[in-house]
Amino acid sequence: MPRWTIWLLIGALVAFVTVPLLTPDDDSEQVPFSEFREMVSAGEIDTVDYDNNNGRITGDFVDEERGSFRTTGPVPLTESDRRLIQANTNEYDFDTPEPNALLQFLPYVFFFGLIILFWVWMIRRAQGQMGGVMSVGKSKAKTYSTERPGTKFADVAGYEGVKQEVTEVIDFLKTPQKFGEIGARIPKGILLVGPPGTGKTLIARAVAGEAGVPFLSVTGSDFMEMFVGVGASRVRDLFESARKMGRAIIFIDEIDSIGRKRGAGMGGGHDEREQTLNQMLAEMDGFEPTEGIVMMAATNRPDILDPALLRPGRFDRQVVVPLPALEDRVAILGVHVRHKRVDPDVDLEMIARGTPGMSGADLANLVNEAALFAVRSGEDSIHKDHFDAARDRILMGQKRETLALTDEEKEAIAYHEGGHAVCAAVLPHADPVHKVTIIPSGMALGVTQQLPEGERHLYRRDYIEDSLVVRMGGRVAEEIIYGVPSTGANNDLVGATELARKMVREWGMSERVGPMAWGSQGEVFLGEDLMHTRDYSDDTARVIDEEVERILREQESRCRDVLTEYRPGLDLVAKALLEHETIDGAEVVRLIKVGSGEIPDEGMSRSAESRNVVERSRAEAEDADTTDTTPAGVSVGDSSEATDTTTD
């Protein structure tokens, strides 16, 4: 019952007692005092009752039909009026009544009652605070029992291999005697490892729902408080609660917050986080195989966990939950569109092919964005175009159609994106072009979107080199057309440099450096040192820088040769982008073939202007060494709005 109901009942009780006393029910006839004296003298009054305290006079008429009367006289009553009443009435009474004790003491009772209630509230508040302090070491785990409807494996789309891995845990919790008969020992701890958004927590909930046992869920941050020793106390309370339940699952989400390598920070062995980890290690090591308690945890950073946490007997099995493959993405999309009105023209497999690298959370966001686009357009169902718009919104950002660009900037952006598109279309190992647009999206002034034809797990050197050429396409195209580069290639250069550096340092794709690899430098809080270090000499660092520069210059030269060869196609693609702002990959390929003369110009208008574009582009390609075609003001934008190149 809410607290305010108690105060409501008290107020109703006080009103029930005091209101009748303060407002008496009196239906007698009101008469003036002068008229009352005349009635007494005439013998019309039968009884009189005079109150000496307030001069109130009540009584009855001789005529019973008139009933009773009331009036107010002087205080005190004069002697003449007293004798008049005594001489002319049958019954009279001059009374001095005692005051109502309840009304007399009610203000004092109310005042002292408020004081008592205030002290009661203060005492309860102090007790609550004391109880909070005393219970600070209690576990904050949420318990999901069999009475509460849980998640099943049917709610988890795809990941059949992961489900098969955790099915053994379900069988052990349901029928532990089957494992005990042959001496098999179930893993005590299962660590779910995978990128963010892949559904690790959802899989853990599904295990609890399928097993039908209590499921204790807690996050790693719930163990940490401002008080020393709270984390270890909560770990003890968590495991004690699980032991009382018999068979149960303890799930710790984001375990890397308390399971980092010990000795990797400033606190040393007295760090509160390390004490919490030590207590968890001790509790897990004290389990018996027949207790029926299984530990599950989820993290996307297994490399920073303490080795003692991953040894056999603790988290001795790691289940990788990777990004969903094509079949898994189709199943995940089917789950998320289950309760949405989707048009029959939507092909989930085609949508899944266009979303490589997306996690389950990304796919859920994609479906929701498509539904929002359908609502904005006034449709009663979600169409294929809505999914395409939602994918572009996620991959490229929100379109900034209101951004004002000059004609020179639009032309520069068109040639920039055309350079990316032409390189991606003609190189044999590059991913095909999906869409090219010069509409500003997000922080980019234009985007060339590439989508792979299938799932890739290994990347060959020729594929990476073609990717570098595609990234260089925008900058080289601007140099060919205008003679000078712009700031629009900032994002391209950053990505290309990082890719080339990985080729040299990590993938052994440099003949001069040889088959050696040096991983990327880790963050300070992940290692045992307080400063960034590298495990190679200054001479090797110089060689690495020289090799990175060589690779980038070689691919830039290749890019220049490609765009010079396909200069007519580049002009046609840029012209189409200026006219339509967005073209697809098939149109890019067709325009390149038209520019090279492989196919006739049937799909495009054969106006004199279009023919002049082709002829002028060929003439400029022949006279590129002697003619300066640099116009004034070709800057696309500052580095914060550098033109994006590819979205793989």
Q: Give the domain ranges of the chain.
A: 3-95, 142-320, 326-396, 407-641
C-alpha 51/C-alpha 98 separation (Å) is 11
C-alpha 397/C-alpha 388 separation (Å) is 13
User: What's the whole-number average pLDDT of the chain?
Assistant: 76
User: Closest Cα to residue 563, out of 595, 586, 590?
Assistant: 595
Q: CATH number of 142-320: 3.10.350.10, 3.40.309.10, 2.40.37.10, 3.40.50.300?
A: 3.40.50.300
Residue 269 has pLDDT above 70, yes or no: no
Residue 613 has pLDDT above 60, yes or no: no
Question: What is the predicted pLDDT for the residue at 557?
Answer: 93
Question: What is the predicted pLDDT for the residue at 54?
Answer: 78
Whole-angstrom Cα Rg for the chain: 43
- Name the band, by pLDDT with cuts 50, 70 and 90, for residue 21: low
- For residues 345-355, give the mean pLDDT: 83
Instruction: Strand 68-72: give its sheet, edge to edge.
Output: 29-30, 68-72, 56-61, 45-51, 91-95
pLDDT: is 253 or 631 the higher one?
A: 253
User: 353 Cβ partners below 8 Å, 6+ apart?
Assistant: 326, 451
- What pTM, to 2 d.p., does this model score? 0.62
- For residues 97-120, give the mean pLDDT: 72
Residue 462 has pLDDT above 80, yes or no: yes
Least confident of 200-214, 277-291, 445-459: 277-291
C-alpha 495/C-alpha 506 separation (Å) is 16
CATH number of 326-396: 1.10.8.60
pLDDT digit string (tens) for 412-439? 999 999 999 999 999 998 988 888 888 8
Question: What is the predicted pLDDT for the residue at 603?
Answer: 52
What angle do the packed helices 160-174 and 200-211 form, to 10 degrees?
30
C-alpha 194/C-alpha 365 separation (Å) is 19
CA distances from 466 to 350, 473, 492, 503, 512 (A): 26, 10, 14, 13, 21
- Name the band, by pLDDT with cuts 50, 70 and 90, for residue 263: low
Q: How many CA atoms lie within 13 A of 505 on its CB side?
A: 20
Residue 625 has pLDDT above 50, yes or no: no
Tokens 């690899």 label which residue? 517
Question: What is the predicted pLDDT for the residue at 549?
Answer: 93
Q: Tell me, yes or no, if 417 is annotated catalytic.
A: yes
Tokens 């009855």 label which residue? 60
- For residues 36-53, give the mean pLDDT: 82
Q: Which CATH architecture has domain 3-95?
A: 2-Layer Sandwich (3.30)
Question: What is the predicted pLDDT for the residue at 287?
Answer: 55
C-alpha 168/C-alpha 312 separation (Å) is 17
Residue 61 has pLDDT above 90, yes or no: no
Least confident of 29-33, 125-129, 296-300, 356-360: 125-129
Q: Where does residue 88 rank: exposed (0-12), middle (13-18), buried (19+ CB within 10 A)?
A: middle
Residue 469 has pLDDT above 90, yes or no: yes
Most confident of 11-25, 255-269, 502-516, 591-605: 502-516
Phi, psi of 367 (to 5 degrees): -65, -40
Residue 606 has pLDDT above 60, yes or no: no
C-alpha 514/C-alpha 508 separation (Å) is 6
- For residues 596-625, give the mean pLDDT: 49
Grouping H, G, I as helix, E, B as strand and the rest as coil, residue 191 is: strand
pLDDT: is 386 or 613 the higher one?
A: 386
Tokens 């893993």 label which residue? 187
User: 40 Cβ partners below 8 Å, 6+ apart?
Assistant: 48, 84, 85, 88, 89
Task: Write b or e for each residue in 127-147: b if 16 or more Cβ atoms lie within 10 A of its Cβ, otherwise e.
Answer: eeeeeeeeeebebebeebeee
pLDDT: is 500 or 325 the higher one?
A: 500
pLDDT digit string (tens) for 151-193? 777 777 777 777 777 777 777 777 777 777 777 777 778 888 8
Residue 32 has pLDDT above 60, yes or no: yes
- For residues 538-557, give the mean pLDDT: 91
Q: Which two tokens stand for residue 495?
A: 């990505």
Question: What is the predicted pLDDT for the residue at 626?
Answer: 35
Least confident of 274-278, 328-332, 567-571: 274-278
Grouping H, G, I as helix, E, B as strand and the rest as coil, residue 60 is: strand
- For residues 85-97, give the mean pLDDT: 77
Residue 66 has pLDDT above 80, yes or no: no
Does 326-396 match 3-95 at the fold level? no
Q: Which of 417, 547, 556, 641 is catalytic?
A: 417
- In this prediction, what percent of the chain has a pLDDT beyond 70? 76
Q: Are 572 and 436 in contact (CB under 8 A)?
A: no
Residue 55 has pLDDT above 90, yes or no: no
Residue 622 has pLDDT above 50, yes or no: no
Q: Which CATH architecture has domain 407-641?
A: Up-down Bundle (1.20)
β-pairing verdict for 45-51 and 56-61: antiparallel
- For residues 546-575, give the mean pLDDT: 92
Please list the residues that pair with 447 across neighbouring strands. Answer: 437
- For residues 579-600, give the mean pLDDT: 85
- For residues 461-483, give the mean pLDDT: 92
- In this prediction, what percent of the chain has a pLDDT beyond 90? 11
